[in-house]
Amino acid sequence: MLPIIECVPNFSEGNDLNIINQITAEIEAVEGVRLLNVDPGKATNRTVVTMVGHPDLVIEAAFRAIKKAGELIDMSKHKGEHPRMGATDVCPLIPIAKISMEETAAYAQQLAKRVGEELLLPVYLYEAAQPNKERSNLSVIRAGEYEGFAQKIIQPQWKPDFGPSVFDEKRGATVIGARDFLVAYNVNLNTTSTRRANAIAFDIREAGRNVEENGVKVNKPGSLKSVKAIGWFIEEYGVAQISINLTNINITPVHIAFDEVCKKATARGIRVTGSELVGLIPLKAMLDAGRYFLEKQQRSVGVSDKELIKIAVKSMGLDELGPFKPEERIIEYMLTNTAESKLVRMTLTDFADETASESPAPGGGSIAAYVGSLGISLATMVANLSSHKKGWDERWEEFSHWAAQGQQLKNELLKLVDADTAAFNKIMAAFSLAKTTAEEKSIRKQAIQEATKFAIEIPFKVMQTSYASMEIIKAMATDGNPNSVSDAGVGALCARTAVMGAFMNVRINAAGYDDKVYVNEIITKGKEIENAVIAAEAVILKIVNEKIGL
């Protein structure tokens, strides 16, 4: 995988779609950069744009967008609820994959230098890209906003990092940096009072508020770490909001922020009515939120990702001000290549038809993986039924744990359905390579061997994962809801079939692999798993048949 970074520029225009579209068109014109989200806000008069791609391409797209924004937006006429100091107010880069924060910061410095030198725009570095930690905080840099910038820029301590030390009346200034993933999140209140909303914001934000004690002003920190927050009134919705930046969701997740706002609002006689996300959010944050709210209800967390997201959305009222579409708001879903999950996205009928067609794929390996996923799905169902069984309330957490494990194994096996077909296609592609010259023959042979090893590893992973599911299946046959013991039995049959079927694919592919030491090792391990799964199936079926009794 190549390095991937995310870039989330904030442009000081949230109403004129013509201007917004011209800016985003500059981003879309850079091949290899994917525009994930465009989120305009009327009251804030600000648009948050999210793009991802290789760092070199992303900073090219960001440069073009910053240039276009400076041409189209006149800051001397700008009004909006959100703090701002420039046409492109802030442009953070965020490491996503195969790149460090230090490397991302270097790219931010590279972009800032180019913007300052080529566009003659004052640029400040922030967060990880700023070596001077006294001026790395965005709120400190932006203090005084656009209206105070003419006086601020001439102060020696506020000389821009790049670009001229001259107030640009039309474009303002830009802040460019590198930071961890930030979640911009607004909580809606049943009040129109900005003052009361601010009071709640001060209650929760890490910076807290200044209070007077014995005639001396001291700082009283808020209740949440890694949280920035202010209160404002949104005319578009007719309500006040707490506008929150969660700068480290590993420290303060979105669901904890929501619950804390609810607590502080209630203490002040105010009610939270819902919330909204600005831009994108990682999948893990939504899944963690769903589990959190289910656990508060003492319900099983071993449900699908789709159900966890639904619980999170409803619990935090993320759909109060507009529909929440996971495929448009969750970053991993935006990056999903649907071609990589073609089979599991099919209907059952289409999948069966595709299997029965003259195409050689999907074949036995994919079917084995799917049968394995059905086996663990049955065990997970028994765990969820047991968790919610009347009279078993004291055991809900035990069965919830089993169900959560089952969901993980199910998801892994579903991925392997398409992975096995991809492995087959990889072998076919290798065999189709040119073989005229000695060099071409050598390249072709190496490609065939690499593809063959991959085609051995995928069904072997199916074997391992399906065998692992036997522990859960046995637990459900032994201790689960007795009315569903036959479901656990069928799950065992599926898991055994998945292991044995996948092993056939391991063996047939291993026959074409030249490294015989590796082949002997994998076959030996495969036989051990096959014998173990047959023995486990016998134990489980004995339990099931004894409980059925007929």
3-class secondary structure, 72: helix
- Dihedral over alpha carbons 162, 163, 167, 172 (to 10 degrees): -80
Structure tokens at 448: 């065939």
Quote the CA–CA distance of 499 and 472 in Å, as a whole number. 16
Quote the CA–CA distance of 346 and 336 in Å, as a whole number. 16
Strands (E), 98-173: 123-127
Q: Give pTM, 2 decimals.
A: 0.79
Quote the CA–CA distance of 172 and 174 in Å, as a whole number. 7
Domains in the chain, CATH or no CATH each: 4-178 (3.30.990.10), 183-335 (3.30.70.670), 338-548 (1.20.120.680)
Quote the CA–CA distance of 208 and 331 in Å, as a whole number. 31
Does residue 419 surpass a pLDDT of 80?
A: yes
Asked whether 398 and 298 are in contact (CB, 8 A), the reply is no
Residues 109-116 have a mean pLDDT of 97
pLDDT band for position 333 (cuts 50, 70, 90)? confident
Asked whether 117 and 168 are in contact (CB, 8 A), the reply is no
Would you tell me how many other CB atoms lie within 10 Å of the CB of residue 102? 11
How far is the CA of 344 from the CAs of 46, 47, 160, in angstroms? 39, 36, 53
Does residue 234 surpass a pLDDT of 60?
A: yes
- Residue 97 confidence (pLDDT): 79
- Residue 82 confidence (pLDDT): 87
Half-sphere exposure of 502 (CA within 13 A, CB side): 39
- Residue 81 confidence (pLDDT): 82
pLDDT, mean over the chain: 94
Read off the DSSP letter of residue 482: G
Structure tokens at 384: 């969820």
**CA 276 to chain CA mean position, Å:** 17
pLDDT in tens, 121-167: 999 999 999 999 889 999 899 999 999 999 999 999 999 999 999 99
pLDDT band for position 331 (cuts 50, 70, 90)? confident
Asked whether 35 and 24 are in contact (CB, 8 A), the reply is yes
φ, ψ (nearest 5 deg) of residue 358: -75, -10
Angle formed by the axes of helices 283-296 and 254-267, nearest 10°: 50
- Residue 1 confidence (pLDDT): 57
Strands 46-53 and 10-11: antiparallel
- Residue 475 confidence (pLDDT): 97
Quote the CA–CA distance of 440 and 338 in Å, as a whole number. 32
Asked whether 133 and 42 are in contact (CB, 8 A), the reply is no
Cβ burial 117-151 (10 Å sphere, 16+ → b, else e): eebebbbbbbbbbbeeeeebebeebbeebbeebee
**CA 405 to chain CA mean position, Å:** 20
Residues 257-270 have a mean pLDDT of 97
Structure tokens at 64: 């073009």
pLDDT band for position 256 (cuts 50, 70, 90)? very high
- Residue 336 confidence (pLDDT): 74
Structure tokens at 277: 């996300």
How far is the CA of 446 from the CAs of 345, 452, 505, 512, in angstroms? 33, 10, 21, 12
Strands 209-213 and 216-220: antiparallel
- Beta bridge partners, 239, equal 234
pLDDT in tens, 384-396: 999 999 999 899 9
- Residues serving a catalytic function are 82, 420
